[in-house]
Amino acid sequence: MVRPLGARRLRTVPGQVEAAVMFLDENEVEELSGKQRRPAQVRALSFMGIEHKLRPDGSIAVLRAHVEKLFGEGVVSKTKRKTEPRFDLVN
């Protein structure tokens, strides 16, 4: 099954209704990098500026939120509250 990269995968967690999966799975890393072998995937991710970590078993961990932020998908922008100067505190 191929789905858009920005589509959130949801997983049922005991005690919770559904939770978003924190990391991309192996198929998503392959789809994102366009490579099948892990060393080539690491090179592709590094070239694209996508932060990743290697797990002890050799698999690649990529945060879904980081990829979504880079590609502008599913990011909720935090609006900064405009602050006014407090002249009453100035002598």
Mean pLDDT rounded to a whole number for the chain = 80
Tens digits of residue pLDDT in 9-50: 555 555 544 456 899 999 999 999 999 999 999 999 999 999
- Identify the sign of the CA torsion 37, 3, 15, 23: positive
- Asked whether residue 65 is domain-assigned, the answer is yes
- Residues with Cβ < 8 Å from 69, sequence gap 6 or more? 75
- Asked whether residue 15 is domain-assigned, the answer is yes
Count: domains in the chain: 1
0.85 cut: is pTM over it? no
Determine the structural domain holding residue 45 and report its residue range.
10-74
- Asked whether residue 53 is domain-assigned, the answer is yes
- Asked whether residue 1 is domain-assigned, the answer is no
With beta carbons less than 8 A apart as the criterion, state whether 55 and 45 touch.
Answer: no
